[in-house]
Chains A and B, each alone.
Chain A
Amino acid sequence: MDTHDAKKPLPRLTPDNRAFWEGCREHKILLPWCQYCDRPHWPPGPVCPYCFGDDLTWKQSSGRGVISSWVVVHKAWLPAFAADIPYNAVQVELEEGIRLTGNVVGASNKTLRVGLPVEVVFDDVTPEATLPRFKPR
């Protein structure tokens, strides 16, 4: 996948997800973590969805998980991705229990399967943005 095409959409930072994307720039997966429940949640929100408390912090994930589902896109909806077709995308269940969306690099689409163990790798797509991707482990 050509990851350095600036025309590809970049993450939209919000007050709720900014720390996650800033963590990616430092090559860390940071998860929003409720200090009261001592558990992470996803997507990032202003409160813990389990206790509705706002005593949140960010904790680093191991970056390891398994593919919980995957797809391969064959249609050129986005011109910036047309040259990548067919390209994959995955949902990954991290060891901490939440599921992130990303894609798998360094492996053929034919090797993708539910349950495949993966770990995060970081792709500095622009000076401002780093995307987490995954590779088989």
Chain B
Amino acid sequence: MRDDVAIVGIGQSEFGRYLPISQLGLGAKALQAALTDAQLERKDIDGLSLHMGWPLGADYDRMAEVYGLEVDYVHQSWTHGRFVTSSLQHAVMAVACGMAEVVACITAISFTRELSILGGPGDPEGMREQGATHGENPVYGLTSPAVGAAFALQRYMALYGATSAQLAAVPIALRKHALLSPYAVMKQPLTLEDHQSSRMVVDPLHLFDCSLITDGAAVVLLTSAERARSMPNVPVYVAGMQGVRSGRSEFIFAPPGLGINQQPASPTTPRERDLAVYGRAGIGREAIQGFYTYDAFSPLVLFALERFGFCGPGEGASWVQGGRIELGGELPVNTSGGLLSEAHVCGWNSICEMVRQLRGMAGPRQIAGAEALQWGTCWGDSVIMRR
């Protein structure tokens, strides 16, 4: 399936806080923008892959009804970072398998109206049978995904001597990128002192290690590479993919081998099976010009870099120093600011940014000559895109 499917349209709503518009309203704006971008009409869309819905907002059927869509393929994952990649991958697979010709990936979220889902009595995850999987345990007052990232970071710091001041290089880099994005919610520079003096949320996570809580929507339209070549935009090809990793070696917010929950406590990154995406894409890691990842919490960026072998186990905190992950550096990361500084649109803002980069239309953020970019998460799934 290498290069069989392409992204031909992207669209975003405005990103902000306490926006007066509904989730479906934000989604409609992003969909209209994507259709305009691709020069397609609503009737051209015959597939949906939603990264939204219960327990946050409308499901696919209500969306299709409200938007006046008629589709023959639907995939839906709930609004959860772990499902961003698979939502994109289901769209690719649907096109590659001939189940749909044009699939719209849609996410729309009003986090500022749905704060309780991110922790607290309204957190339905923690009290499920078997509990939740970011370390939540309400019996001990643990209720937000933040606690899982904090457990992982604390152990990482203890094992490898990494420091919070080193970690600050991640949010500082992404803030620099956000200042170049017209869509970004954050408009002020972030200094090391700002980071270190910001309040603790869950020790060792400072405020600026945690993603923004924002409202916004993003849409990505995919079709066959063949059709894409006759469309107006430079096609962005899906070169290779690999799925989410799961098993007793995994904790969602830690690299394999860190020893969180029941993970073995011996570092194993990079594992051969986590490098499959490079072979499938026919693009080696050394050819990746920018890395995009789910940065809900700043340590997740380190863990993703280590999982894919950009650096060794425990080396992430020192590897990101000196501007290495900033625009102009060796491996720019999340060049529009990510969840930490552009907006929390469940990662789709970064996927839209990858498409802009590969079209050569990222303006002041442009990676010169961008031909191959990687999306990869600390839980191991990945999509490599090329122009």
Contact = CB atoms under 8 A, between A and B. Distances in A.
Interface of A: 8-12, 14, 16, 41-43, 49, 68-75, 77-79, 81, 84, 86-87, 89, 91, 93, 98-99, 101-103, 109, 113-115, 131
Contacts of B140: 89, 101-103, 131
A68 B159 contact: no
Interface in B101-143: 119-121, 123, 126-127, 129-131, 135, 137-143
Contact of B139 (A43, A68, A131): A131
Given A91-B151, A91-B261, A71 B203 contact: yes
A89 B143 CA distance: 11
A9 B154 contact: no
A73 B204 CA distance: 9
Contact of A72 (B123, B203, B259, B260): B203
B143 A77 contact: yes
Contacts of B64: none
Given A69-B155, A91-B261, A74 B201 contact: yes
B129 A14 contact: yes
B248 A12 contact: no
Given A72-B200, A75-B119, 20 more contacts: A16-B130, A68-B259, A69-B154, A69-B260, A73-B141, A74-B201, A75-B144, A77-B144, A78-B121, A79-B121, A81-B141, A86-B200, A89-B140, A91-B135, A91-B260, A99-B262, A101-B137, A114-B155, A114-B158, A131-B140
A73 B147 contact: yes
B151 to A, nearest CB: 5
Contacts of A102: 140
B130 to A, nearest CB: 6
B262 A71 contact: no
A5 to B, nearest CB: 11
User: Residue among B126, B203, B259 with the most chain A CB within 10 A?
Assistant: B203
B150 A9 contact: no
A78 B201 contact: no
Contacts of A115: 158
Contacts of A86: 200, 203
B261 A89 contact: no
Contacts of B200: 72, 74, 86
Contact of A68 (B155, B202, B248): B155
Contacts of B138: 8-9, 78
B141 A78 contact: yes
B199 interface: yes
B154 A70 contact: yes
Given A9-B139, A43-B130, A43-B131, A77 B120 contact: yes
A71 B147 contact: yes
Chain A to chain B: the 8 pairs with minimum beta-carbon distance, closest first: A114-B158, A72-B203, A9-B138, A77-B119, A81-B141, A69-B155, A71-B150, A77-B120
B265 interface: yes
A91 B152 CA distance: 11
A25 B120 CA distance: 27
Contacts of B131: 12, 43
A75 to B, nearest CB: 5
B162 to A, nearest CB: 13
16 contacts: A8-B139, A69-B152, A69-B260, A71-B203, A73-B141, A73-B147, A73-B202, A74-B199, A74-B202, A77-B120, A77-B144, A91-B261, A99-B262, A101-B135, A101-B142, A114-B154
B151 A69 contact: yes
Q: Find the residue from A72, A84, A91, A98 having the highest chain B CB count within 10 A.
A: A91
A43 B140 CA distance: 16
B261 A11 contact: no
Given A89-B142, A113-B158, A75 B260 contact: no
A95 B125 CA distance: 29
A79 B201 CA distance: 15
A89 B248 contact: no
A11 B129 contact: no
B173 to A, nearest CB: 25
Contacts of A87: 141
A92 B343 CA distance: 35
A131 B127 CA distance: 16
Contacts of A9: 126-127, 138-139
